[in-house]
Structure 1
Amino acid sequence: MSALNLDDFSDLIERPDSGMRRDAEERRQRQTVAPGALGRLDELGEWLSAAQRSVPVKAVTQPRVVVFAGDHGVAALSVSGRPASTAHTLVRAALDGESAGAVLARRAGVGVRVVDAGLDCDPSLLPDEVVRHRVRRGSGRIDVEDALTLDEAEQAVRLGMRIADEEADSGTDLAVLGDLSVGGTTAAATLIAALCGTDASVVTGRGGVRIDDLAWMRKCAAVRDALRRARPVLGDQLQLLAAVGGADLAATTGFLLQSAVRRMPVILDGVVSAACALVGQRAAFRAPDWWLAGQTTNEPGQAKALDRMAMTPLLEQGVTAGGATGALLALPLVQAAAALAAELPETPREQDQDDPRGLLDAT
Structure 2
Amino acid sequence: MEIGIPPLSETAMDQARERQQNLTKPPGSLGRLETFSVEIAGITDEPTPELEEAVIATVAGDHGVVEEGVSAFPQDVTAQMVANFAHGGAGVNALANTVDARNLIVDAGVAAAEYPGMDSVVVDKVGNGTDNIATGAAMSRADAEAAIEVGRSVVAEHAPEADIIGLGDMGIGNTTPSAAVTAAITDHSPEAVTDHGSGIDEETFERKVAVVERALENDAPDPDDGIDVLRSVGGFEIGALAGIALEGASRRTPIVVDGFITGAGALVAAQIEPAVTDYLLPSHSSVESGHAIQHEALGLDPLFDLDLRLGEGTGAALGIAVYKGACATLREMATFEEAGVSN
- Structure 1 length as normaliser, TM-score? 0.89
* Deviation beyond 6 Å, 4+ runs, structure 1: none
Q: 2:137 touches 2:219 (CA, 8 Å); kept in 1?
A: no
Q: 1:33 touches 1:344 (CA, 8 Å); kept in 2?
A: no
Q: Which residue of 2 aligns with 1:205?
A: 195
Structure 1 gap segments, 5+ residues each: 355-363
**1:140 is aligned with what amino acid?**
D
> Is 2:62 aligned against 1:71?
yes
Q: Distance in 2 between matches of 1:230 and 1:33?
A: 56
Q: Distance in 1 between matches of 2:298 and 2:77?
A: 32
Q: 2:64 touches 2:133 (CA, 8 Å); kept in 1?
A: yes
Q: 1:156 aligns with which of 147, 152, 163?
A: 147
Q: 1:278 touches 1:305 (CA, 8 Å); kept in 2?
A: yes
> Is 2:266 aligned against 1:277?
yes
Q: Distance in 1 between matches of 2:142 and 2:273?
A: 21
Q: Which residue of 1 aligns with 2:84?
A: 93
> Is 2:189 aligned against 1:226?
no
* DSSP 3-state at the match of 2:129: coil
C-alpha spacing 1:188/1:232, structure 2 compared with 1 (3 Å): closer
**2:74 is aligned with what amino acid?**
P
Deviation string, structure 1 residues 193-223 (Cα, Å, up to 9, x no partner): 011112110000111x211111111110111
Residue 175 of structure 1: how far off its partner (Å): 0.5
Q: Distance in 2 between matches of 1:210 and 1:126?
A: 32
Q: Distance in 1 between matches of 2:204 and 2:182?
A: 20
Q: 1:119 aligns with which of 110, 113, 116?
A: 110
Q: Which residue of 2 aligns with 1:357?
A: none
* DSSP 3-state at the match of 1:117: strand
Q: 1:187 aligns with which of 140, 165, 177?
A: 177
Q: 1:298 touches 1:318 (CA, 8 Å); kept in 2?
A: yes
Q: Distance in 1 between matches of 2:337 and 2:320?
A: 32
C-alpha spacing 1:353/1:277, structure 2 compared with 1 (3 Å): closer
**2:60 is aligned with what amino acid?**
A
Alignment of 1:44-83 (within 5 A): 44-55=36-47, 57-83=48-74
Q: When the two structures are aligned, how many residues end up with a matched partner?
A: 341
* DSSP 3-state at the match of 1:281: helix
Identity level (%)? 28
CA RMSD of aligned residues (A): 1.9
Q: Which moved more, 1:116-125 or 1:301-310?
A: 116-125
- Structure 2 length as normaliser, TM-score? 0.94
* DSSP 3-state at the match of 2:220: helix
Structure 2 gap segments, 5+ residues each: none
> Is 2:257 aligned against 1:265?
no
Alignment of 1:1-363 (within 5 A): 5=1, 8-9=2-3, 12-55=4-47, 57-124=48-115, 127=118, 130=121, 132-169=123-160, 171-207=161-197, 209-348=198-337
Q: Distance in 1 between matches of 2:334 and 2:303?
A: 25
